[in-house]
Amino acid sequence: MSRRAATLTTASVIVLVLAIIGSVMRVPYVALTPGPTSNTLGTNDKGQPLIRIEGRQTYPGGGHLNFTTVTYRGGPSGRIDLLTALRGWLADDTAIVPEETIFPQDETPKQVDEENTRQMENSQQNAEAAALHELGIPISTRVIVEGVQKGRPADGILKPDDEITAVDGAKVTNVAQVTGTMAKHKIGDTVTVTYTRAGKPHTATLKTVATPGGDRAAVGIVIADQYKFPFKIDISVGDIGGPSAGLMFSLAIIDKLTPGPLTQGRFIAGTGTITANGEVGPIGGIQQKMIAARRAGATVFLTPKDNCADAAASRPDGLRLIRADTLHGTLQAINALTSGKGPIPSCTR
């Protein structure tokens, strides 16, 4: 055998061995790729309106207001192999990130999924509240127990989904009122909590203990505001989690509750968390979401201001970026876009 043939044979064997090793060696990374997009003005995978409103007049819309998603491969229960990670690092539409970015070390995959589901539910609530606030439709709130800390005074007494109606006899309708009353107590004081469970009122007297920081009195419950709307808004997105569709939900709700199509037939996609006050927040996976939007046919992408620099640096051809700071400002930008009148905030590096 010639020296050249021997060298080629040896190299081929080495490549083959490395390929075999790479295909079986699991690495603690996750591959993020563009996920499906869904038109909030359209239907879900069951053929039902993605957003359904009952008890209030609605108006037909048109065009697209798509929320975008990111698909991931990997995780503690099914790690990707080294070759997949290497291919991802070389691909324009894939991001390879450390496993703990998606799966914190102190949480199980099940807990991560449950947290994503909770974030989606909260996102929908905030989106509905922000939309109605923007339209001047009054809403009210109530205080719901989200969790009870094990071993604390409320453990075994209060349960998730209980509604807190009064503290020390004073009616409460939001979290700020509860925390304001608790702030008046010293560690070791007793506090009377009135709550409803399955429509029935209950009262519990609890002795306060120190918070984990040791500086405030607490009884060991996690509470949150839950909004009470004057009519029914149902958002059905299937098995999708996380908070990043909030902005697009709010825009679609406003479109359905106001005459005339907001998009004027344009294909607009976007992303961004939303607060009940209409503030738009940043999200992860902006590059993959832009690619998903452009592949679906979007020509405009609504981008949270804190994601603008990264978005501008990797914007797909044919996709115009509009900076989204608030729900109100985003509505103004869309109206300026469709009318051709007024400034349109854009993303820059």
Residue 6 inside a domain? The answer is no
d(CA 174, CA 171): 10
Q: pLDDT at position 89, please?
A: 75
> Of 207, 228, 249, which residue is a domain's last?
228
Clarify whether residues 120 and 254 are in a common domain: yes
- Rounded mean pLDDT of 231-241? 89
Q: pLDDT at position 15, please?
A: 45
Token couple for 279: 């503030």
pLDDT for 283-311, tens place per residue? 999 999 999 999 999 999 999 999 999 99
Clarify whether residues 307 and 173 are in a common domain: no
SS3 content of the chain, % helix, strand, coil (to 5): 35, 30, 40
Neighbours of 24 (CB within 10 A): 10
Q: Is 327 left (phi over 0), alpha (psi -120 to 50) or beta?
A: alpha
Burial label for 61, CB within 10 Å (0-12, 13-18, 19+), is buried
Q: pLDDT at position 315, please?
A: 95
CATH of the domain at 43: 3.30.230
Number of domains in the chain: 2
Token couple for 69: 């998603």
The answer to whether 188 touches 125, Cβ cutoff 8 Å, is: no
CATH of the domain at 218: 2.30.42.10
The answer to whether 182 touches 167, Cβ cutoff 8 Å, is: yes
Q: At residue 333, what is the residue type?
A: A
Q: Give the range of the structural domain holding residue 202, as residue numbers without chain letter.
A: 140-228
Clarify whether residues 205 and 326 are in a common domain: no
d(CA 69, CA 78): 20
pTM score, whole prediction: 0.80
Percent of the chain with pLDDT over 70: 92
244 is catalytic: yes
Residue 88 inside a domain? The answer is no
Burial label for 183, CB within 10 Å (0-12, 13-18, 19+), is exposed
Residue 23 inside a domain? The answer is no
Q: Which residue in 244, 305, 314, 341 is the catalytic one?
A: 244
